[in-house]
Structure 1
Amino acid sequence: MRNWHREGDKIVAELDRQEAAVIRGLVSQVQDMLQARAEEAPQDELAELTGIRTGASTSPDDPILSRLLPDFHRLDPDAPDPGEADSASALRSLHEPELLDLKNGVAAVVLDTCPPQGGAVVLADEQAEAWLSAINDVRLALGTALDISEDMPDELPEEDPRSAHLGVYHWLTWVQETLIEAITE
């Protein structure tokens, strides 16, 4: 892949077949996780009557989903207040469906605009913003799965099962950085 760059009012890049497959595969995996979480939302009769959707009131158990869908309000572990727990649950229940919609929406834009066999990717600014968000979600998910931290080396020994995936993480970081540069040109 060559750097993203601006051509007039479009943001353009060229992906080879393997790069397109990696992006499409990872975005699809994140989207599947998010859709499964949305399907787990409790059915609420009041929501059906009012049209106001509600989501789960508790954080996901899966660490990747928990990273993608963080708490809207963090509880103070030193001074627990039962009212705070109720408000955190209520905030999650009210806002998680919209967050899931947004994350699934940006994933859909990537899947719609990333050619399965590779080739030119030509994006309007709004589509480029969606790509940026979806790639960020993939990086968060992959970073959580790989247990990436600030003190992790840039390369891991070959025998480390994470070594190949770390290369993908670094490549996605570069893709994201060059996309940011092209958007801000």
Structure 2
Amino acid sequence: MAGFTRHRRSKRVIATFTGFEADLLRSLAAQLVELLRNEAAVPRDDADPFEALMDFSGPTTEPDDPVLARLFPTAYQHDEEAAAEFRRFTEGSLRDGKANAAITIIDTLEEAGLPPELSEEGLMIDVELDEPTAETWMRSFTDLRLALATRLEVEEGDEEYWYSLPDDDPRAQAHDIYDWVGLLQESLIHALAS
């Protein structure tokens, strides 16, 4: 995986993934969407659009899931009432934004040719992103890395621990995925800056 680069003529951000890489990325994004939507109130299709826009009946307490607590930290650590009100007015739209960003990754990969089933060996997927879509991917990479880091309990300066694990240890494999998403994100940042 070479990462993202900027096409000289079109100025679009491009990357080529193996079928396995694209399927892994799609799976990670789908798991994030499921997590975000599982505990959130699901909007009704028959809801009045204005009423839905003005609905501020979101959650008022910090999520129980550590990943969600990391993605939606408490805004006012020393003022429970202000924190509850802030969460009630913002968390629903923040969840939707994060879920929609992850869905953008899924949709882009599928539009680029990733079949719904596990992709065949040797298949290469070329992805071209305009700047707004690339920025959406970058935001979603941040969410994916936070989710993985929280589940793995990654801490600053603990690289030696992760490198000491045997290659067949599932934690080492999950950490490799965490590192890989980080490399993707870094290459995307550089591509956008060029």
Q: Give the match for residue 138 of structure 1.
A: 144
The TM-score, its normalising length taken from structure 2, stands at: 0.82
CA distance in 1, matches of 2:136, 2:56: 23
Q: Which residue type is aligned with residue 17 of structure 1?
A: G
Are positions 1:180 and 2:189 aligned together? yes
Change (3 A) 1:63 1:49: closer
Change (3 A) 1:53 1:160: same
CA distance in 2, matches of 1:11, 1:92: 35
What is the Cα-based RMSD across aligned positions, in Å? 2.0
Change (3 A) 1:165 1:49: closer
Q: CA deviation at 1:101?
A: 1.4
Change (3 A) 1:89 1:178: same
How many pairs are equivalent? 172
Q: CA deviation at 1:38?
A: 1.6
SS at match of 2:6: strand
What do residues 2-27 of structure 1 show as CA deviations (whole Å, max 9, x unaligned)? 22111122100000011011110011
Are positions 1:157 and 2:165 aligned together? yes
Q: Give the match for residue 107 of structure 2.
A: 112
**Runs of 5+ in structure 1 lacking a partner?**
42-46, 76-83
The TM-score, its normalising length taken from structure 1, stands at: 0.86
Q: Give the match for residue 67 of structure 2.
A: 64
**Runs of 5+ in structure 2 lacking a partner?**
44-49
